[in-house]
Structure 1
């Protein structure tokens, strides 16, 4: 006898397969394991993955299809996702998850007016980023009226190896840690200018330690370059990175070093005094 779907209608073959798989899953996987799977699925959404099917969610989060289906439908019920019968898409309620960190992070709160002042002075977008599992994550952002990049948004994640903020954040690691990190991530050539040879990537990270800043010149996106400086805590460790993003057609690298670097360093110094 066919099994009915969640809406009471006869389930499709795919639904029956999912139900059979779900019935075979050990009960020990329930509980906090379910929360971990749900969070893995939430993290799978990104600027390049704005909607997912059950199968895609299972693959990206590395969970079974029944587990992915349960998590996705729960997120729909809670108002975090919409579902059109095939694709699951984030809803505005999803912003509450990142907002919980941003509203309680003293660093992000302290930084925001400083980022806004730097944005007004430079007339360019200025950001604050922290390191998270090989990615530079933007936790503070003051947008200029002209937006250069779609990637550098509040909550956005950029690969650390080729972003200015990422290189700054990686520069505090030991030589062994840097080598292990570079060996563990895919060094994709995102544009013709992306530095992705392991020895060259490591050299750019080491250069931050002597220069005190990092530049990513059209490595993430053609027509966009960025500069970042470290924000250090009282122990001398790098807590975050402050960066500015500009159009490569309007602002040269020399101009960034001459006019933008002192402003970023001033913001970083004020943040360091507040930590």
Structure 2
């Protein structure tokens, strides 16, 4: 599974808050502590949390204690470190059940999944990345590919390019300039002009297609979901295996129904 993009690092958050009189620094530091678990491979020690959150150990100790008391951090089973607490899932549920786009998308994607019988995902747009909010799996998925909350870059994924195609070209270029154009596979396109051409093609076609650029052996189609004014909110992703599909066959079978699903969601907003 490719590495996961996460929210801005502590340095970026601290910089944003520097001159903001309404910003509550204590609340911000608590979020930094929770964010310390991004990319962690297991439980974290207090020192590791302090380092990752870019705060001193004393502040980390107080914040971890507070968050443990509230149920947002817990001790690991072997009592050698800390893990996110179960009550964080309450907030995940709140986001998913209250977000109007997710509400409208869910029944449409369930029907799309029945029709195409391949993996169907729905993501929400967050500038240089997309965050998966709904995941409807096919028969061959790994554990990590089933998790809500994973995020992927916009520049080399079908959903990402579809979203960028809904933006004015100068804005799409700005997003690319802010992105780390990392080669996830030997086929990942990292040349900005080539990516912009792929985005332009997606704008002409009404969908984006990516083969082997983010996951080897995968063919993916992306459809942008937009507001009434055309601004992108997220994307539908439909993915299949090259062992079962040629790119042309996948386009013929998946693109029309995915475009129809995207139109249905957009029209309902």
Q: Same-fold call, TM > 0.5?
A: yes
Cross-structure match for 1:183: 177
Q: TM-score, normalised by structure 1?
A: 0.78
Q: CA deviation at 1:161?
A: 1.3
Cross-structure match for 1:215: 209
Q: Distance in 2 between matches of 1:219 and 1:88?
A: 35
Q: Distance in 2 between matches of 1:58 and 1:207?
A: 45
8 Å CA contact 1:231, 1:272 repeated in 2: yes
The runs of 5 or more residues in structure 1 that have no matched partner are: 1-28
Structure of greater relative contact order (alpha carbons < 8 Å, 6+ residues apart): 2
Match 1:97 to one of 88, 91, 99: 91
Cross-structure match for 1:270: 264
2:40 matches 1:49? yes
Q: TM-score, normalised by structure 2?
A: 0.80
Q: CA deviation at 1:54?
A: 4.0
The 1:204/1:43 distance shift into structure 2, 3 A limit, reads: farther
Q: Equivalent residue of 2:87, what SS?
A: helix
Q: Distance in 2 between matches of 1:260 and 1:49?
A: 36
CA RMSD of aligned residues (A): 2.5
Query: Is the radius of gyration larger for structure 1 or structure 2?
Result: 1
8 Å CA contact 2:188, 2:213 repeated in 1: yes
The runs of 5 or more residues in structure 2 that have no matched partner are: 1-20
2:129 matches 1:138? no
Q: CA deviation at 1:104?
A: 0.4
Q: CA-to-partner distance for each residue in 1:45-98, whole Å, 9 max, x for gaps?
A: 44x434344454445444444444433333333223333455332244322222
Q: How many residues align?
A: 245
Q: Distance in 2 between matches of 1:258 and 1:181?
A: 30
Match 1:246 to one of 240, 249, 254: 240
Residues 3-22 of structure 1: matches in 2 within 5 Å?
Answer: none
